[in-house]
Amino acid sequence: MIDQLLVEPFRSPYMQRALIEAVLLGVFGGVLGVYVVLRRLAFISEALTHTVFPGIAVAFLLDASLYLGAFAAGALSAVLLTVLTLNRRVNDDAALAVLLTTFFSVGVVVVSRSTSFTADLTALLFGRILAISTGDIIQTAITMLVVLVVLALMHKELILRAFAPESARAMGYRTDVMDLALNLLITLFVVAAVKAVGTVLVIALVITPAATAQLLGRSIRSMMAISVVVGVLSGWIGLVLSYRASVDHDLRLASGATIVLIMTVLFVVAFAARKLLDLRRTRVGAG
């Protein structure tokens, strides 16, 4: 049993690489997600996952580095998003949607000029965690290290900004610079994760484990621990599940999407558990 779940699926090198990548992204997304959820930046993260797309599409056609292309487009949009959300006169919710679809459309237009349109688009949208190379893993690891160090250095300020934005401003912190920094860190995560799970599902790796942690955690530290555990656990279960389905039942399940589905299931379980606990507490309180 343990052999079937732990050892056997990961005999082949490509599965080992997929597992390492999934664990790295689980830790990376788990930690970053806590800040994203506390700041309520789900929509901004969603926008950033789509705005890297034209960069990837252009890099793909030019045969240049996908990471570089994705980061260039992502960084440009992170700056634009920060400026848009600072300007309170436009409804930032609508402005984000317009920016997101504009960037994405440029990507689709670029890709639609290529002959292998459908195949390329499918790969970019859905990702291929089983085709991850050692080089990809090293890039993910380095990106993660950089982002985690920056987050650790800015931790106190980011938390203050999340819970008491007015105080943060009054104490002289440049909140606009901090917002831009956090948006750039999210961009780095998107760039690191996009090859594994594709543009649309990257958002899950940031939001879902952290949302689960928000339901269960009592402090920021416990939130972070829960978020990382959920991220890593989902990566492992998702890979094993898609492997077993393919070997035992000849059923192909996209690995990246299976990981996201496991995350969603864990979130739903946490939501139900929280609801039951609350119900019991109110009943005890009333009695």
Partner 1 sequence: MDWLTEPFGSDLMQRALLEAVLAGALCGAVGVHVVLRRLSFFTMALTHATFPGVVIAALLGVSLFFGTAAFGVVVVLAVVVLSRRRGLDSSTATGVVLAGGFALGVVLISSQQGFTRDVTAFLVGSILTVEPGDVVVTAGATVVVIGLLVVLHKELVLAAFDPAAFEALGYPVVVLDIVLLLAIEITVVTSIPAMGTILAVALIVAPASAARLWTERVGTAMGLASGIGAACGVIGLWVSHRFDVAAGASIALVAAGAFALAWLTTPAIGLLHRLRRGATSDAPLSSEGQPVA
- Does the protein bind partner 1 through residue 35 (CB under 8 A)? no
Q: Which two tokens stand for residue 224?
A: 């972070």
- Does the protein bind partner 1 through residue 156 (CB under 8 A)? no
Give me the residue label for tokens 């980061």.
71
Distance CA 78, CA 199 (A): 16
* DSSP state letter for 7: I
Residue 145 Cβ, how far from partner 1 at the closest point, in Å?
26
Distances (CA, A) of 109 to 12, 47, 57, 106, 239: 38, 18, 9, 5, 33
Residue 44 Cβ, how far from partner 1 at the closest point, in Å?
9
Number of residues engaging partner 1 in binding (CB under 8 A): 59
- Does the protein bind partner 1 through residue 233 (CB under 8 A)? no
Q: Which two tokens stand for residue 49?
A: 């996952």
Q: Closer CB to partner 1, residue 119 or residue 177?
A: 119
- Does the protein bind partner 1 through residue 159 (CB under 8 A)? no
- Does the protein bind partner 1 through residue 6 (CB under 8 A)? no
Q: Which of 122, 133, 134, 167 binds partner 1 (CB under 8 A)?
A: 122
Q: Which two tokens stand for residue 181?
A: 């920094």
- Does the protein bind partner 1 through residue 96 (CB under 8 A)? yes
- Does the protein bind partner 1 through residue 85 (CB under 8 A)? no
Q: Closer CB to partner 1, residue 8 or residue 120?
A: 120
- Does the protein bind partner 1 through residue 264 (CB under 8 A)? yes
Q: Which two tokens stand for residue 199?
A: 């543009």
Contact window for partner 1 (CB under 8 A) among 68-76, 102-110, 157-165, 175-183: 102-110
3-class state of residue 35 by DSSP: helix
- Does the protein bind partner 1 through residue 234 (CB under 8 A)? no
Q: How many CB atoms are closer than 10 A to CB 46?
A: 18
Q: How many CB atoms are closer than 10 A to CB 173?
A: 15
* DSSP state letter for 113: T
Angle between helical axes of 175-216 and 13-38 (0-180°, round to 10): 110
Q: What are phi and psi of 174, to 5 degrees?
A: -80, 90
The dihedral built from the CA positions of residue 36, 38, 39 and 42, taken in this order, carries a sign that is positive
- Does the protein bind partner 1 through residue 261 (CB under 8 A)? yes
Residue 130 Cβ, how far from partner 1 at the closest point, in Å?
12
Interacting residues with partner 1 (CB under 8 A)? 37, 40-43, 45-46, 50, 89-91, 93-98, 100-102, 104-106, 108-109, 112-113, 117-119, 121-122, 125-126, 200-201, 203-204, 207-208, 210-211, 214-215, 251-254, 256-258, 260-261, 263-264, 267, 271, 274-275
